[in-house]
């Protein structure tokens, strides 16, 4: 916990510089220091800094295993340094108020009503309400907060801006009202539940797991609680680079097309008497390829 003055100066302090270099690299540190300081000062001007905290939630990329998480499969994934950052303060009411650089109006959600709303599908309001609803269902602590946020995760880019936002909100509730006692896998599950039931996207759990765990991880989704292992991988020590290209398009409005993929995969699994493709052999799929194409 920081005092008002120490929080404002934290990004340029020795500890702050060390943290920002760890998150973003030495070259980006000055820019990130200014970004975080702006968030603190904006929160201070709007809401004050009584009990303020700083949060960061990364975007993610798949390294292998696309669309296998919802089939009980295995993936390799990594967090990226393009993140969502926020400075927030707890409040005594049930309101969440976030001023975001990406939205013309502040995001405002009343936590006294956590039922899904069709009118909020595809919005950050749905994700806040959904994460809060999942927390309440598990008997976890819940309360209002307000502050400012900024996102470097481009919406619709394939870096899981929705999962990054879910984990940002989950981290805030966890720190402010649960003494940071909720483990990363649970926070990921809260995010997935919010996206499935409130946001309107039937995603698997890989995106949220990658954002929650950070780093590079191997994850096995065979069981309800995934098994995961941190991979010791130094990208700077190998001749590979992850490039993010702006295609000029977005998948923001492709939820129906996304939902068709797991639905079709379940149709195929049903032909083998299974609920998902995990455990069905490659040779079995090839042997029945003709009938699969006709039926599914």
Active centre residues (catalytic): 207
Between CA 70 and CA 77 the distance in angstroms is 15
DSSP state of 143: -
Angle at 166 (CA atoms; ends 30, 217), nearest 5 degrees: 75
Q: Look up tokens 């700077």; give the residue.
A: 236
How is the chain split among helix, strand and coil, in percent rounded to 5? 45, 20, 35
129 CB contacts (<8 Å, ≥6 apart)? 109, 111, 113, 114, 116, 117, 120, 194, 198
Between CA 228 and CA 237 the distance in angstroms is 23
Q: Is 151 helix (H, G, I), strand (E, B) or coil?
A: strand
DSSP state of 296: -
Between CA 128 and CA 112 the distance in angstroms is 12
β-pair type (145-151, 95-100)? parallel
Question: Greatest CA separation found in the chain?
Answer: 69
């Amino acid at each position: 916990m920081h005092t008002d003055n120490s929080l404002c100066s934290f990004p340029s302090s020795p500890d702050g510089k060390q943290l920002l270099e760890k998150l973003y690299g030495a070259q980006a540190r000055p820019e990130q220091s200014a970004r975080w300081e702006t968030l603190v000062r904006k929160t201070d001007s709007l809401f004050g800094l009584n009990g303020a905290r700083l949060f960061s939630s990364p975007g993610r990329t798949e390294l292998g295993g696309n669309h296998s998480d919802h089939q009980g499969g295995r993936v390799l994934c990594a967090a990226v340094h393009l993140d969502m950052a926020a400075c927030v303060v707890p409040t005594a009411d049930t309101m969440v108020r976030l001023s975001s650089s990406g939205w013309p109006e502040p995001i405002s959600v009343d936590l006294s009503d956590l039922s899904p709303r069709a009118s909020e599908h595809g919005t950050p309001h749905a994700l806040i309400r959904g994460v809060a609803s999942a927390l309440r269902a598990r008997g976890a602590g819940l309360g209002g907060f307000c502050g400012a946020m900024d996102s470097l995760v481009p919406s619709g880019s394939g870096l899981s801006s929705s999962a990054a936002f879910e984990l940002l909100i989950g981290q805030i509730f966890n720190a402010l009202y649960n003494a940071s006692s909720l483990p990363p896998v649970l926070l990921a599950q809260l995010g997935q539940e919010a996206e499935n039931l409130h946001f309107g996207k039937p995603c698997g759990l890989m995106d949220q797991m990658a954002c929650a765990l950070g780093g590079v991880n191997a994850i096995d989704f065979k069981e309800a609680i995934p098994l995961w292992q941190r991979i010791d991988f130094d990208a700077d020590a190998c001749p590979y680079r992850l490039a993010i290209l702006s295609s000029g398009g977005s998948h923001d409005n492709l939820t129906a097309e996304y939902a068709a993929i797991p639905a079709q995969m379940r149709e195929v699994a049903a032909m083998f008497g299974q609920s998902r493709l995990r455990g069905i052999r490659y040779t079995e799929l090839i042997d029945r390829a003709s009938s699969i194409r006709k039926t599914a």
